[in-house]
Structure 1
């Protein structure tokens, strides 16, 4: 068996490289792809929340929203509770993104289905707990 630390780093590197290649194949840059994923997972966010979650400056976030709006993926809506704030809503995925993701989804489904139900439960428990740990570590690094 390989060194567990090296194996985990290899896994993370492959995941990051796949995300970068997916973004490029879909005609997006990595930050735009990441922001669309954030909006899909979190739902509508204010531009300020999007800036915090992406780690971008407010100016860079405005340009990000402009690009995604022009591509027909998001829209800006005034916050009914505070008209000074803009809420960014996802309104669709880039054309062809599902097609680009087919190979990755198929391969990962094959891997996951090679485990029994109990093993998959452990894997998904890990994914949830690891996501929280990564988010907390990221927040710690940024503060």
Structure 2
């Protein structure tokens, strides 16, 4: 499983890969701790993250898109959205330009719970980023974006192999 690392680059790639794996596991533990405190399941947590990310990028989530992203049936998405709405984590709004379209948004109560829980992590993240120059952060951003794209492509390929059908691209 382990091979000899002959060059500095080989060692660096191995170290970065190990750090990404540890980061992923730790992030999952933190996410599950938040979910556990608020009675959320894994799919609930993934849905909240998808809604939050969509809002962050100025492209509010729709139930249909959420279903495609989480690989859920229409009925499962409805139950998920109902559950998260009842718990105060998200809200449904009609699109101002197309009243037939439903948009999902992080609700104030859900946002407050997330802020309270994740604020200490946010401070730690800010402290770490402050130690890097703008140019270094540009490089890290480019690297993380490429790694995220690669991971999502692999996730979609695994999903397609498991279900026997191609997965639609995700946001």
Residues in 1 aligned to 2:83 and 2:155: alpha-carbon distance in whole angstroms: 26
Residues in 1 aligned to 2:131 and 2:38: alpha-carbon distance in whole angstroms: 29
Checking the alignment, whether the CA contact within 8 Å between 2:47 and 2:66 is kept in structure 1 is yes
List structure 1 runs of 4+ shifted beyond 4 angstroms: 78-83
Q: CA deviation at 1:37?
A: 2.0
Q: CA deviation at 1:76?
A: 5.5
Give the match for residue 87 of structure 1. 102
Give the match for residue 7 of structure 1. 19
SS of match in other structure, 1:134: helix
Which 5+ residue runs of structure 1 have no aligned equivalent? Answer: none
Which fold has the larger relative contact order, with Cα–Cα distance below 8 Å and residues 6 or more apart in sequence?
1
1:31 to 43, 46, 53: 43
- TM-score norm. by structure 1 comes to 0.79
**Cα-Cα RMSD:** 2.7
- TM-score norm. by structure 2 comes to 0.68
Checking the alignment, whether the CA contact within 8 Å between 1:75 and 1:89 is kept in structure 2 is yes
Which 5+ residue runs of structure 2 have no aligned equivalent? Answer: 1-10, 160-165, 167-171
**Which has more strand, going by share of residues?**
1
2:80 to 52, 64, 71: 64
2:116 matched to 1:104?
A: no
Q: For this pair of structures, how many residues does the alignment match?
A: 141
2:136 to 119, 127, 130: 119
SS of match in other structure, 2:102: strand
Give the match for residue 44 of structure 1. 60
Query: Which structure has the bigger radius of gyration?
Result: 2
SS of match in other structure, 1:45: coil
